[in-house]
Copies of this chain bind each other. A is one copy, B any other.
Amino acid sequence: MSALNTDLYELTMAAGYFLAGKTADVATFELSVRRLPRNRNFLVAAGLEQAVEYLLDLHFEADEIDYLRSLKQFQQTPPEFFEFLRGLRFTGDLFAMPEGTPVFPGEPLLIVRGPLVEAQLAETYLLSTMAFQTTIASKATRMVAAAEDRMVVEFGSRRAHSPGAGVLAGRAAYLAGCSGTSNTETGMRFGVPVFGTAAHSWTMAFPSEEESFRALQRLLGESTVFLIDTYDTLEGARLATRMGPPVWGVRLDSGDLVALSREVRRILDAGGLKEAKIFATNDLDEYRIAELVNAGAPIDAFGVGTQLATSGDAPSVAAIYKLVELRIGESLHYTVKLSEEKSTLPAAKQVYRYADRDVISLYNECNKEFTGEPLIRPVIIKGELLEPLPSATSIRSYAVQAIDALPAELRSLEDSAPYPVDMSQRLNALAEDVRGELLLAR
């Protein structure tokens, strides 16, 4: 990853802070979500591992600095700034909600505290990596809920917003409860189970469907999944029974999945393949999965592509990265934004989770009344990772349990009443003080 993978204004601001002698100022930024996207009752935090990698690796290459020097925006910038960039590393702290945690608007997913330039520069990359994976994990948990006890596998790499996004979509979907992904790089990099057997082109590459099935079975044995709809689905199912075991099952990728799955199930059962499973794909989403489940379609596993890897109904989330504190020398300033529809709350925060509500407090607010579980934990201190990050598999276990602990109505596909997220008295009082002072000062 390149340190230039950021908005130009992060770099012009860096130069400005350098020139204004503000490199020793210590800033605290919070990354949170302003509001829930449509069709979501909660979000599932994801992307922390990539955020940590970025912060630990942050540095500028010589050619990147040369490029910046060539831009018109930096023509008046003295050479000392570029020397400063050459030595820049992330030396600050990162506090975060663990990946897999259900999260609500206003709750920090990340708190970044460090020298102003370092913390500011990271904004664009952190927003993108956190918002994207959080978006996908939040979509995935709905599909997993709709599928009840059936498997959901992420198959959307080809629809993801670039091949790199496909790798991360597979990871995020798994964290939130999917059984695995088709993306092989996701499998290797993150230890996520990988799924996949053959496409229609496989069937078409052989002189007959039968020859293609035989070759697949020879290759995959009991992992074999016959894709039976290339020419005619029911004929394909009959052919599968003629092949016999070993076989995992068959895949349906077109047509009326309720009717076809029933007929196919009947053909498989009658043909001695009672153990063979039915895998369904074809533009599925959580609503379609729920319909199929509710219709009693005998489908054992769902493969979901486009709608999962792009979060089709809500492809973005209003994530923000806002300055909440600034220490200049010995004085600590709490900062807020006043503009109407985009106001922010001051100070670094903690989130306590109870069975039926969350409470957002000041981060350093010690209050015996807060018996809930504190969700924000230190991850990086003074540029050093405190402990190894959890594996994808252990994040998934935690996420499944944490999502399961939410009130049931939040896990339904219908819109629920907003989950109660209260603010502590001290946070409220501080917010009022800061706003009041700012308005007085105008």
Chain A interface residues (CB < 8 Å from chain B): 1-2, 4-13, 15-17, 19-20, 22, 25, 27, 29, 54, 63-64, 67-68, 71-73, 76-77, 116, 120, 123-125, 127-129, 131-133, 135, 155, 157-169, 182-185, 187-188, 194-202, 204-206, 208, 215-216, 218-221, 223, 229-233, 235, 253-255, 306, 310-312, 315-316, 319, 321-323, 326, 335-342, 438, 441-442
Contacts and interface: CB of A to CB of B under 8 A. Distances in A.
Contacts of A336: 204
A374 to B, nearest CB: 26
Given A198-B13, A201-B322, A326-B204, A19 B76 contact: no
Contact of A231 (B163, B216, B306, B339): B339
Contact of A442 (B11, B167, B235): B235
Given A162-B165, A231-B339, A219 B64 contact: no
Contacts of A208: 441
Given A16-B198, A67-B187, A73-B223, 11 more contacts: A4-B187, A9-B198, A12-B196, A27-B205, A127-B159, A132-B161, A161-B169, A164-B164, A200-B323, A205-B326, A235-B442
A233 B200 CA distance: 58
A312 B323 contact: no
B198 A254 contact: no
Given A128-B157, A254-B339, A323-B204, A4 B162 contact: no
Given A7-B157, A13-B202, A19 B220 contact: no
A215 B125 CA distance: 25
B306 A316 contact: yes
Per DSSP, chain A at the interface is: helix
Given A165-B164, A188-B67, A183 B339 contact: no
A162 B163 contact: no
Contacts of A64: 188
Contacts of A184: 4-8, 11, 68
A159 B196 contact: no
Contact of A161 (B165, B185, B306): B165
A120 B203 CA distance: 13
B310 A315 contact: yes
A155 B341 CA distance: 20
Given A162-B132, A185-B5, A438 B205 contact: no
A204 B135 CA distance: 29
Between A319, A321, A338, the greatest number of chain B beta carbons within 10 A of the residue's beta carbon is seen for: A338
